[in-house]
Amino acid sequence: MNITVKLFATFRNGRFKVARQEHPQGTSCRTIMLGLGLSEDEIGVVLVNGRHVPLDQVLHDGDTLALFPLVGGG
Amino acid sequence: MDKIIRINMNDLSTSTETVPAAWAGLGGRGLTSTIVAAEVPPTCHALGPNNKLVFAPGLLTGTPAANSGRLSAGAKSPLTGTIKESNAGGTAAQMLARLDIKALIIEGIPKEDKWYSLHVSMEGVAIREETELVGKWNFAVIEAIEARLGKKTGILTIGPAGEMKMTAANISVKDPDSKIRSHGRGGLGAVMGSKKIKFISIDDQGAPKVPIADPEKFKTAARVFAKALMDHPVSGEGLPTYGTNVLVNILNEAGGLPTRNFTVGNFDGADKISGETMHDTIVARGGKPKHGCHAGCIIQCSQVYHDQQGKYVTSGFEYETIWGLGADCCIDNLDDIARADNLMDDIGIDSIETAVMFGVAMEAGILPWGDSKEMLRILTEEIGRGTPLGRILGGGAGSVGKTYGVTRVPVVKNQGIPAYDPRSVKGIGITYATSTMGADHTAGYTIATNILNVGGYVDPLKKDGQVELSRNLQIATAAVDSTGMCIFIAFPALDIPECLPALIDMINARFGINLTGDDVTNLGKHILKVEHQFNIEAGFSNIHDRLPEFFATETVAPHNAIWDFSAAEIDEFWNF
């Protein structure tokens, strides 16, 4: 299945901004995160199609996964 | 000994008073709101002689506590008609604290049609007639005062917007680099203009250090507090690297970035105006990605932004400004947004109110969507010069909406709604509706928990838990705003258990007292109730704690979210 992966802030360093990736059915956000060399304690926010989800959320074809470190402002 | 200095502009006299016992434990917002509530008739005209303009440093301001250099300004707001507190960085707060000034209270209006300045020093406050700098814009004022009184002089000034009593006018505060921070919201610059005070200069030469009752205890707590700030990923890494503008991308992804005057929740040009792009641009052009608004700031969320030629354009370039002139006005040219930011500092007008106003002005057809050049022209030639159109625009989003018959006007209590769509981030909608200040994101920043996973998580698209979240944050914020602390200490305070006790320990060590966590919570509740009571006596009721109608009738993409709180659900907020 086709997943659009978006990375933000420091996660882009040495990686990418946005990439379209092929993954087998049943792939979770966690699997993709680990594949990027990121660990759970670095993760701030996980969004799938603009909604907050837990890391173990299973993805579907055409989903957009956005990964952020903890960031803030205001 | 701490003192209160009153400046009576009716007869151009000043007087110094000891601090009444009831005010001794207060600082910052707690003190400005208490004084305004006690001494300003709630039904007075905000630009008339019965309003008072109060400045107060926080309880910890002037001490070595990290991030404690904020100044509170308070009055009845000419924009909202409510009580108002607006706090800012810059150098003035720490200088006033070293001068043992707990509050400056400016009263009355001069009889003669002349302009004045106030000079604050060890000798007290001198009122001087001012002619040379009347009509000058803020950067010229700062340059001239530094030439006149010395580079180290602290300065609070109003630009042409404040002189013309525009209700979006701010009070500008000189920062450590002779640039500007702002008491932005609520039109306090117009109140200063109504009192015919062009600027306040501060000289703290000869002032002693701020006394600390228990220096050892203070030092220990200050170290724990600073460590918490540096250890938290938001205050220790995210904010210093990307500034507050890191929020563009995350709000855009979450569908909460108000775009084209609050008609959609994502902006196609978000990447071009994002914090990540801004960081890379600043580094490539030799600007500074890190910068503090006051001495002792260790978060350094500010920055210095240069143009393509490597020349200074602006600093203190904030998310809300960039969102408002960017996504909300459909402008994706960050250089032009930076130029506008600097112009707004120079004119002395709130960059949030003005950005929200431009979205409404574009909807009204005053200028085309996305036309950044025309926006810059309007700032300079209409607002800066006070043409009739400029004065309508300088009155903020509500003013232009009313004048042009626009129905989609994002304001609460006539103050522009910033940067986070309340339909897709529902907690912040409760804050906008219920804040004693009118729409103000900082009053109870639910974005932390709705979007950023700080202090837990409450689903932004559901109603559950939002009223309680907003209430708890508004109570905590009212207390933090009294300490002189930057509100960004809330990020570590929400997540790191040692942070808040260390803050309380610093207050206790400073004054030799024994506040508990409950005392601080009760202080926050008390401040909100004092402010709320002022607003009730000024004519406000629960009917005014509502969002504009369009949020309940127009869904916002991408989540097709709608504002669906009932009146009774919102009114639960005040049950504490």
What is the per-residue pLDDT across B380-395, written as a single tens digit (0 to 9) for each?
Answer: 999 999 999 999 999 9
- Do A45 and B452 lie within an 8 Å CB cutoff? yes
Q: What's the rounded mean pLDDT across residues B197-209?
A: 97
**Contact state of A50 with B559 under an 8 Å Cβ cutoff:** yes
CB contact under 8 A, B253 and A9: no
Q: Which of B234, B276, B459 sits opposite A52 (nearest CB)?
A: B459
3-state SS record for A12-39: HCCCCCEEEEECCCCCEHHHHHHHCCCC
State the DSSP string of B489-521: GHHHHHH-TTHHHHHHHHHHHHHT----HHHHH
The arithmetic mean of pLDDT across residues B162-173, rounded, is 98
User: How far A60 CA sits from the closest chain B CA (Å)?
Assistant: 18
Structure tokens at A29: 């956000």
What's the rounded Cα separation, in Å, for the pair B230 and B359? 37
Residues paired with B17 in a beta bridge: B4
A12 touches chain B (CB under 8 A): yes
B234 contacts in chain A (CB < 8 Å)? 70-72
Distance between CA atoms of B509 and B64, rounded to whole angstroms?
12
Nearest CA in chain A to B301: A73
The model's pLDDT over B402-453, given as tens digits with 9 standing for 90+, comes to 999 999 999 999 999 999 999 999 999 999 999 999 999 999 999 999 999 9
Distance of CA B214 to the CA centre of its chain: 32
Neighbours of B575 (CB within 10 A): 7
The yes-or-no verdict on residue A74 having pLDDT over 90 is: no
Q: Which of A8, A44, A66 is nearest residue B452 as measured by Cβ atoms?
A: A44
Domain count, chain A: 1
pLDDT of residue A73 exceeding 90, the answer is no
pLDDT digits (tens, 9 = 90+) for B292-321: 999 999 999 999 999 999 999 999 999 999
pLDDT averaged over every residue in chain B? 97
Q: Which residues contact B112 (CB under 8 A, 6 or more apart)?
A: none
Cα A30 to chain center, whole Å? 8
Residue B488 carries which DSSP code?
Answer: G
Q: Do A73 and B559 touch (CB under 8 A)?
A: no
Closest among A11, A4, A74 to A45, alpha carbons compared: A11
**Angle between helical axes of B426-434 and B466-480 (0-180°, round to 10):** 60
pLDDT surpassing 80 at residue B59 = yes
* CATH number for the domain harbouring residue A28: 3.10.20.30
Structural tokens at position B166: 């525009």
Close Cβ partners of B153 (under 8 Å, ≥ 6 residues apart): B145, B146, B174, B201, B202, B203
Which helix (H) or strand (E) covers residue B163, if one does? helix B160-163
- Does pLDDT of B1 surpass 80? no
Structural domain including A19 reads 2-68
- Residue linked to tokens 């009760």: B522
In a domain, A73, yes or no: no
User: Pick from B318, B454, B460: which is nearest to A72 by CB?
Assistant: B454
Q: How many CB atoms lie within 10 A of CB B122?
A: 13
Residues of A in contact with B320 (CB under 8 A): 74
- Beta strands of B184-324 (E only): which ranges? 197-202, 288-291, 302-306, 312-315
Distance from the A66 Cα atom to the nearest Cα atom in chain B, whole angstroms: 8
When pLDDT is averaged across residues B532-561 and rounded to a whole number, the result is 98
SS3 B218: helix
Q: What is the DSSP string of B299-349?
A: S-BEEEEE-TTS-EEEES--HHHHHHHTGGGT---HHHHHHHHHHHHHHTB
Inter-chain Cβ pairs, chain A and chain B, closer than 8 A: 96
> Number of helices and strands (H, E) in chain A?
1, 5
| CA–CA separation, B166 and B394 (whole Å) | 5
Per-residue pLDDT tens for B493-527?
A: 999 999 999 999 999 999 999 999 999 999 999 99
Nearest to A66 among B253, B457, B487 (CB): B253
- Proportion of chain B above pLDDT 70, given as a percent: 100
Tell me whether A10 touches chain B (CB under 8 Å): yes
Using a CB–CB cutoff of 8 Å, tell me whether A18 touches chain B. no
Give residue B529's pLDDT: 98
List, for residues B85-143, the tens digit of each pLDDT value.
Answer: 999 999 999 999 999 999 999 999 999 999 999 999 999 999 999 999 999 999 999 99
Nearest to A73 among B247, B271, B461 (CB): B247
**Looking at the domain assignment, is residue A74 inside a domain?**
no
Helix-strand-coil split of chain B, %, nearest 5: 45, 15, 40
B383 contacts: CB under 8 Å, gap ≥ 6: B161, B166, B347, B349, B354, B390, B393, B394
In order of their start, the domains of chain B are 3-202 (3.60.9.10), 213-240+422-576 (1.10.599.10), 243-421 (1.10.569.10)
Query: Do the Cβ atoms of B273 and B322 come closer than 8 Å?
Result: yes
Whether residue A18 is contained in a domain is answered as yes
Task: Say if the Cβ atoms of A72 and B452 lie within 8 Å.
Answer: yes
Of chain B, the percentage scoring pLDDT greater than 90 comes to 100
B535: its two tokens: 């607003």
pLDDT for A13-53, tens place per residue?
999 999 999 999 999 999 999 999 999 999 999 999 999 99
